[in-house]
Every structure is written in C-alpha cells, then in structure tokens.
Amino acid sequence: MTFDLGGTLRQPWSVWTRPDEMVGLIWEYLVDKGVPVVRDRFLEEMAIIEKSYRERIRATYQEMLIDEKISIALGTFGVELASDDPVLVEAIDKAMESLESVPYPDFEPTMSELVTRNLKLGLITNTSWRLPKDEVENLSRFFSVITTSYEHGFRKPHPSIFLVTLEKLGVSPDNAIHVGDSEADVVGARKVGMKSAFIKRGEKDMVADFVLSSLGDVLEILDIRQS
C-alpha cells in the first residue's frame, strides 16, 4: 500500500500555499550570508522561473529542484551560486526547518494500525523541496520506503515514481493500493495497474476505485479485500 503525503499530512503552509513567503525565508538567509540581491526583484524572478517550471511539469512531469530554481534566479543578478553550494543548501534547509507539518487527526491512529498488520507501506510525494530530516525520521516510523519527486526526478502521475516505489517494497501493482487526494494520485496509480483510493480532504471529487471520507476508511477497504 502506498500513500500521498498531502493526503495524510497538512503540509507546511508556506511551501504549498504561500510560496513567496517560503522563498522570502531563503532570501533572508542568503542576505545574511552576504548575497547581494534585492528581495522584490528576487521574488519576481523566482515567480517567472516557477511559471516556466509549471509549464514543463504539465508537459513532461520532470521535476525541477528548488536548488536549481534559486541558482538560476541568482544568476540573472550576476550572483554565481551553484545549486549544490553549501550556502544555498543550508539556506533551503533552514527555511524548511522553520515550518511544521501538522498531521490530520486520523493519520497517527490509522498508520499505527496498518503497521500492526505487517503491511508493506510506502510514501510517494511530489515536491521540489527536500523533506526535513526530522520529518523523514517521523514518517519512517510507518513507511519503509519514501519516494519524493525531488530525489526521483519525475512527479506523479508519471508511472516511474510508482513503479520504483513498488519495486523497493517488493509488491506487484496488481496487489497494491495507492491512497491520495489529487488527480495525479488516481491517474498515476491506474496507469501502472494499482487500485486507487481517493481521500476527500476538501470539496474536490474524483472517480476512483475507492473514495474515502477519512484515512481510517482504508482499514475497512482492507477488511473487505481480505474477507
């Protein structure tokens, strides 16, 4: 069984819903380290890069790392800072560490129960950001495999991100269910032959093999399939 991070946790609010503020945190750190870039101009350039990134994703599903985006933006101002430069890497990590992922109330009890059933559990998430180490450690209590588009290179619904996760879990697609809250989750799972479970976290509806009103509904699905 695999899960989408957005369907189980409330994401750090700045990264997904207010990206300008997240990028602003990175800018503050870079300025403290002596990088001479005006905030408004930096944010404007990042917005242009982000728009191009979104267009590329729709066409190819190929990920572009936040490290690359910032390196390119800085380059337009004559600041040469490679994407793997320690200053840039630390700036991004510091910004991420300042945010907190608050789990939905049904996350902990459901995942704890799934672990007791000795199921093979994996996490698949689209993100151009590195997950903070403490969050990875927390998620690793439940998931033996965590696949991010940041590390894999392609985003859901690209089939490869599902297949590589299933391969690591040692599970065939026809014996797996993917739980998520987006079209990319449902479409991607079906492309590789997995059952899709759409968890309804908002107003959006989706046609899937299973529709969940809460994460706990997963337990009922398993009970039915195993009976």
Per-residue pLDDT band for 131 (boundaries 50, 70, 90) equals confident
**How high is the pLDDT of residue 99?**
72
Whether residue 61 has pLDDT greater than 60: yes
DSSP 112-129: HHHHHTT---EEEE--SS
Q: What is the pLDDT of residues 174-186, one digit of tens each?
A: 999 999 999 999 9
CA end-to-end distance (rounded Å), the chain: 17
**Of residues 81 and 104, which shows the higher confidence score?**
81
Listed range (105-109, 142-146, 184-188, 194-198) with the worst mean pLDDT: 105-109
Sequence spans of domains, the chain: 2-11+101-226, 13-97
pTM of the predicted structure, to 2 decimals: 0.90
Neighbouring C-beta atoms of residue 41, cutoff 10 Å: 12
Cα(108)–Cα(112) distance, integer angstroms:
6
Mean pLDDT in residue range 99-106:
80
Whether residue 16 has pLDDT greater than 80: no
DSSP state of 104: P
Top-tier CATH class for 2-11+101-226: alpha beta
**How high is the pLDDT of residue 201?**
80
Q: Phi first, then psi: give them for residue 210, nearest 5 degrees.
A: -140, 140
**How high is the pLDDT of residue 10?**
67
CA dihedral 10, 106, 165, 157 (to 10 degrees): -50
**How high is the pLDDT of residue 11?**
58
